[in-house]
A and B are shown apart, each in its own frame.
Chain A
Amino acid sequence: MNPADFQISIARRLKNRFVILLLIALACVALIPLIHVLHYVYAQGLPHWNLNFFTELPKPVGESGGGLGNAVVGSFFLVLVAAIVGVPVGILVGIFLSEYSRSALAGWVRTSIELLSGVPSIVLGIFAYSAIVVPIGHFSMLAGSFALAVILLPVVAKTTEEVLKLIPSHIREAGLALGIPRWKVTLRIVLIAARSGITTGVALALARVAGETAPLLFTALSSQHWPRSLLEPAASLPVQIYSFALAPFEEWNHLAWAAASVLVSLTLVTNLIMKWATRSRGESR
């Protein structure tokens, strides 16, 4: 046989070149919006970053200056309360899914966790409204935190399960062989060994939840004042971005962009730190 028979025809070679370039181009297309959004948010938001943004209340229409201090504090407490409820429960469910995965119940729980993470956040807002706002009789930070906790829970459970499954089983067996009871092996050895992975997952989940807007619209609502109680409505950064973006006052638009850049920085910094902290694990996902 002539070696020339094995040569790849020009048409096939061109087609190959074309497909490879096309795939590279598509990957670039996917990144254009990211770069544009990040660039634009910082170009618009950074000029309005100052101390007042974090320490002052929004000024009435027509006055210049003012900040979104109440929304910063409000967002912080909304996420904090959601974390206090959602994170421990999520971790416990994750432990159950990983360490007792052979029980029939685990399969059901895993499915419901997946479905729960797919429930649109606006629907969870109605849920929190119905479960908390209606019985209490008015909008409250608590209702907002409750909705956020329900969003947080499946994410934390899922990551915990995945991280715990990466812990080699001989570590569990070593603990059990020493006569340590199973609950202690789980909590004091397996969970501790997995703590960096769980921390990463929780941090990313919290950063995501901090940007959630839809479930807060009719639970925590909004407020002109500093948050004082869990049972009162509270301002939050995402809801303020929404209402100030649509407001016809330039000063408020500036605050919206500043708030957007603060939120984006929060997720950006969290993602970067967590990527850096877990870099040694490399391409396991």
Chain B
Amino acid sequence: MKAMTEVNSVGSARKSFDPIFERGLKFVAILVMSLLILIIFFLYQLAAPAIHEYGWGFMFKSDWNPAKLIFGAYPFIHGTLITSLFALALSVPVSIGTALFLTEIASRQVAAVIGFLVELLAAIPSVVYGLWGLTVLAPRVRVTVQPWLSEHLSFIPGFSGMPYGVGVFSASIVLAIMITPTITSIAREVFRAVPHAQREAALAIGATHSEMIWLSVVRVSWSGVFGAVVLGLGRALGETMAVTMLIGNRNEVANSLFSPAQTMASLIANEYPEATNPLHIGALAYIGLILFGISFIVQGLARRIVNRVANPSGGGA
């Protein structure tokens, strides 16, 4: 009996560190949580001059002239949305197709290898894609792709314009390459969450392989696929270096798929290092804040959808 209480007391003496440990972890976790608030706070601090000067109207003004201290964010919001959406249009069929190939057609070994290679696409640094795009892609777009497209598709508005090589089109292609692994891997998780019985049921009533894929995998996965696409959009919106090197850096609203433009991220990358006037820095930080807000909303939405579909028990995707 005496021995027992001794053991207990030793135990409780050791255990007394437990609450401290837990409190310490909690403290660190709260610290990390507050990072988001700190980011907003520090960005706001820099952006304050521009916010007071222009207010909400900043987002709809299309003049940008640092020399005359005239600032408006519309061309860059427009450029960001155009490049991201065009990149999505290019990437979504490839990504979804690849994800279906990996889950429904490829054998385990093949899927492991191809899946790894697709993940490698995400591991290549953005600046390397930019360098590649600048030397390989842009000249080809200028010499081959754009003349062909404008010859055959000139009836569609947006396919005309001077052949520069750099511009919305080239930037979007590289963006599409960069977001393909994101969409593929999330879509893959979504398709994998479809129960096997559902596939077997389709096959049992005589569906062909492709009909089975459509009936029991794709049709039940719409919301998850939508989440994957939105997550890809979130990635595309904030992507900086490759776009900066390929978009042509012209501070105007793009009127053609081939014209040079500017995204919010590329504008910041271009002008921030040289900005000295507080209003100029403020306008750039304001654009950073808008970019933060947009990607915050888009990613938050996508995470909610994806977490619900791919991981119904709750927790992260």
Contact = CB atoms under 8 A, between A and B. Distances in A.
Q: Do A and B bind each other?
A: yes
A89 B210 CA distance: 47
B9 to A, nearest CB: 12
A150 B180 contact: no
Contacts of A218: 272-273
By secondary structure, the A interface counts as helix
Interface string B75-101: 000000000000000000111111011
Contacts of B295: 118-120, 123
A109 B58 CA distance: 33
A276 to B, nearest CB: 11
By secondary structure, the B interface counts as helix
A126 B101 contact: no
A113 B315 CA distance: 12
A43 to B, nearest CB: 11
A126 B208 contact: no
A8 B128 contact: no
Interface string A53-96: 00000000000000000000000000000000000010011011
Given A41-B128, A122-B269, A245-B134, A15 B119 contact: no
B43 A271 contact: no
B39 A23 contact: no
Contact of A158 (B11, B209, B316): B316
Given A24-B105, A214-B240, A96 B43 contact: no
A260 B208 contact: no
Contact of A100 (B14, B25, B32, B234): B25
Interface residues of B, number: 95
A241 B127 contact: yes
Given A114-B299, A217-B269, 18 more contacts: A20-B105, A30-B98, A40-B135, A92-B29, A100-B22, A101-B315, A105-B30, A113-B32, A115-B299, A123-B292, A126-B42, A126-B285, A131-B42, A150-B35, A179-B14, A181-B14, A212-B125, A267-B120
B151 to A, nearest CB: 24
Interface of A: 6, 8, 12-13, 15-16, 18-20, 22-27, 29-31, 33-34, 36-38, 40-41, 44, 89, 92-93, 95-97, 99-101, 103, 105-106, 108-116, 118-127, 129-131, 134, 150, 153, 157-158, 161-162, 179-184, 186, 204, 207-208, 210-214, 217-218, 221, 238, 241-242, 245-246, 256-257, 260, 263-264, 267-268, 271, 275, 282-283
